[in-house]
Amino acid sequence: MLPGVPDAFQRLWTPHRLAYIQGGQDQFHKDECPFCVAPSRTDEESLIVYRGETAYVVLNLYPYNPGHLLVCPYRHIPDYTDLTVAETAEFAALAQQAMRVLRKVSHASGFNLGMNQGVTGGAGISAHLHQHVVPRWGGDGNFLPIIAQTKAITQTLGDVRRQVAQAWTEAAVEDTEVDHAQ
């Protein structure tokens, strides 16, 4: 059969899985907190899109949708009530900026924002606070995740990280230009 000639197979192309095959899943040791280790690595290695003063923004290694971001404080704290006033302000501002950037990059028409607190609250990494910012589009909840428990992600994590980080930098420059104009 020649390339591009239709056949009887339905294919689900998932280039993001290559990151897992090449060691993405095992990049942290079991006794390490991935949210504490991530800032010590390069942005590309850790999938960080922005570093703030008290918190940073990173792509989720296991995204629900392309562009699924996590806002994490640098401090290893488990609960939202453990944030200082300054950390809370930056944490909230980063979630807002994440939404703005994802609207620009991916034209998201909605978002799921959430924090699962504690093991019983559903947190996968309960010892280190993090907020999910999940972009949504009409029709993104099709039959694959519902019936087949499979999610098709159309871009690699590295490609998404580059796009989001670039848009974040451009947005910061635009904000600076507006501030100077006022």
The residues carrying an active-site annotation are 130
SS3 141: coil
Q: How far apart are CA 45 and CA 28, in angstroms?
A: 12
Handedness of CA 156, 158, 159, 161 (dihedral sign): positive
Query: The sheet that has 69-73: what strands, in order across it?
Result: 48-51, 55-59, 69-73, 131-136, 110-114
Put residue 143 in one of left, alpha, beta given phi > 0 → left and psi -120 to 50 → alpha: alpha
Q: How far is CA 127 from the centre of its chain?
A: 18
Q: How far apart are CA 79 and CA 126, in angstroms?
A: 8
CB 161 within 8 A of CB 44: yes
